[in-house]
Amino acid sequence: MSTAARAVSPAAAARPPLPRRLRPARCTGGAAAATEMATAGPARVATVSNSGDSLAICRVLNGMWQTSGGWGRIDRDAAVDAMLAYADAGLSTFDMADHYGPAEDLYGMFINRVRRERPPELLEEIKGLTKWVPPPVKMTRSYVEDNINRSRKRMDVAALDMLQFHWWDYSNPGYLDALKHITDLKEEGKIKTVALTNFDTDRLQIILENGIPVVCNQVQHSVVDMRPQQRMAELCQLTGVKLITYGTVMGGLLSEKFLDTNVSIPFAGPPLNTPSLQKYKRMVDAWGGWSLFQTLLQTLKKVSLKHGVPIATVAVRYILNQVSSFAS
């Protein structure tokens, strides 16, 4: 089992492109990349696969939740410029959803600029992973296909690289009908790989037992939230299903910015002014509170100083070192 982490915020859409001098080692496949990985440390790209379906993706993904609203106005041209800068830097896998505001539309704009302005080799590297989160209504073939076609049109692709499916109501077994239709659409060439998001271990096992070729499940996972390394990790190790993780840096809480701060006192610390910061602050409260979280940050800081990297890098590496993980 291996993990991928979503680590780049699309809120960066409003920022200038990354200077080329800051470009990291590329996240690519092929023999040259394999040689580099064998000599330079952990792999930067990995393959998710099941039943003959496979997709090579970066182990660190560009997450696009921040385009969904709550982070301020999105400048679409600046967003696409930022996506191009990340792709040029080697971070070429993008993770989005049908309900992340204009995320799929931005990807469509982005991929068309890559087709026009970049060499074919870069186009081959880029992967767009999206999610479909329908209401728990009757899952007919036409309903499923219409929604998948909508994402294909918005992203301007003939086939979705990965479709990650979520279901809100486990008491309604319609998720199996939906996944069977999704698998049929994959066989027809409209989807390359089938995946899940936020499914629990019991339902993942049921889905696999029904012959759905799931390649990965996207779940919340961080140094604070280690739930996936219990039953989920064991099942993934047995079946080869991978984990894509979100919340890996907890919206930015796992950083120097929040070290030695007290956010309980108004204006005494950095503001919790985004939906992700507010969400993961609630996770900290449920986990053990801000005082314990400060102890964790202090420990992570010691590790980061030892290796000459930021706290966030230590947090991401820890999750990437877990069984079956990618980070988003």
The answer to whether residues 287 and 188 belong to one domain is no
- Assess if residue 94 is contained within a domain: yes
The answer to whether residues 260 and 174 belong to one domain is no
pLDDT on residue 169: 96
- Assess if residue 64 is contained within a domain: yes
- Assess if residue 92 is contained within a domain: yes
The answer to whether residues 103 and 207 belong to one domain is yes
Range of the domain at 305: 250-327
pLDDT on residue 264: 83
pLDDT on residue 3: 60
pLDDT on residue 16: 42
> What does the pLDDT profile of the chain (328 residues) look like in tens digits?
446 676 544 444 444 444 433 344 566 543 333 323 333 446 789 999 999 999 999 999 999 999 998 899 999 999 999 999 999 999 999 999 999 999 999 999 999 999 999 999 999 999 999 999 999 999 999 999 999 999 999 999 999 999 999 999 999 999 999 999 999 999 999 999 999 999 999 999 999 999 999 999 999 999 999 999 989 999 999 999 999 999 999 999 999 999 999 998 888 889 999 999 999 999 999 999 999 999 999 999 999 999 999 999 999 999 999 866 777 7
Q: Please name the residue that has the structure tokens 């950095």.
A: 270
By the 10 Å C-beta count (0-12 exposed, 13-18 middle, 19+ buried), 244 is classed as: buried
- Assess if residue 206 is contained within a domain: yes
The answer to whether residues 122 and 271 belong to one domain is no
- Assess if residue 275 is contained within a domain: yes
pLDDT on residue 6: 65
- Domains in the chain, number: 2
pLDDT on residue 10: 41
pLDDT on residue 192: 98
- Burial code (b: 16+ CB inside 10 Å, e: under 16) for 125-162 equals bbbbbbbbbbeeeebeeeebbebbeebbebbbbebbbb
- Assess if residue 192 is contained within a domain: yes
SS3 19: coil
- Assess if residue 152 is contained within a domain: yes
Give the global pTM. 0.89
The answer to whether residues 94 and 202 belong to one domain is yes
pLDDT on residue 323: 67
The answer to whether residues 81 and 151 belong to one domain is yes
The angle formed by the CA atoms of residues 269, 270 and 275, to the nearest 5 degrees, is 130
Which two tokens mark 115?
């087709």
Report CA-CA distances (Å) from 153 to 93, 105, 150: 19, 9, 5
The one-letter amino acid code at 45 reads V
